[in-house]
Amino acid sequence: MLKTTVFTELAMGLASRFPELDPVAILELVEAPVVRLAFYELCNTSWDQNIEEPGQAPRISSEYIKSSIEAFEKNPMGGFGGLEYRDIRGGGLPLTPELRGAEATCFSIFMSRIYAWAMQPHPDLRVSRYLQYGSIRLPLLWGILGICISLYGDDRFPRPLYPLPEITYEDHMDDWEFEVTGSLGYSSAWFPEWQEWRLRYEALKDETDRNAIAQFWSCLIFDKDMCQPHGSAASQAKDFIGILHYVKNCDNNPETGEYETKQMVVFSDPCAFNEPPESVTRDLPVHW
């Protein structure tokens, strides 16, 4: 049986939004260390700024999310110049401001970093064939973002292996690259994490084991959703992915009210565009 981690239940809740897909393949992607690295980058450059009160969901404008969707769909691999200028081995390093591109946002950078890694041929991930389709790619990666924010807000997201950098890229490039290696980017400190992940899923290549896990978790997710319809893993995934539909409808109905989820509150205001600065000097998160 698969070892349960902090990601398992929420990942299976996300998988319930894609019932035709292999839920273990989705869990394999969610538990890959690249997701942690991408989220540490998000927190370090922007997300912590939006948290005004601990325990309260940040308010994000629909215009910012719309721009994130457009940036990701236009360039899902992320970064100026594509993979030719980007090292993504072991999750790679965060993009420098020069390579992010003018249209990139913190959300599109998060999704692109995971997508670029997952689409490499050598990991041979089962989920990569699903990610080829836009109708799956965006909501799946957006749902992974929701998982990370939810765990982070509950103080359950895994702690960084190194302290997050307290200097910006503009301070000094060499110092910045030294500080982000291991904290926001791959270093040999992450080698054991990757091996634990690899060995866990190597052992699950047997279809009988995968099917048993899928059946067990699908029944458990259903039971919890029936007993707790407004706080279950399945309902969290449904609500967060619903942000994508809300943002789309804002174009047709500018008077649309707020859309509230556990992870964030999205408001419609054509004049609002809460773009965080490209780099921020800040203290570490309170719960890290």
**pLDDT tens per residue, the chain (288 residues)?**
566 789 999 999 999 999 999 999 999 999 999 999 999 999 988 887 777 676 778 999 999 999 999 999 999 988 755 555 567 889 988 877 667 777 889 999 999 999 999 998 888 899 999 999 999 999 999 999 999 999 999 999 999 998 888 766 665 666 777 778 888 999 999 999 999 999 999 988 888 999 999 999 999 999 998 887 788 999 999 999 999 999 988 866 666 689 999 999 999 875 554 554 443 333 434 345
Q: In a 3-state reduction of DSSP, which class is residue 70?
A: helix
- Stated as kind and residue range, the H or E segment containing 38 is helix 33-42
pLDDT of residue 264: 94
pLDDT of residue 287: 42
pLDDT of residue 282: 37
| CB within 8 Å of 215: residues ≥ 6 apart | none
Tokens 């943002």 -> residue:
247
Distance CA 137, CA 115 (A): 8
Could you tell me the two tokens for 206?
Answer: 């047997």
pLDDT of residue 56: 79
Taking the whole predicted model, whether its pTM rises above 0.75 is answered as yes
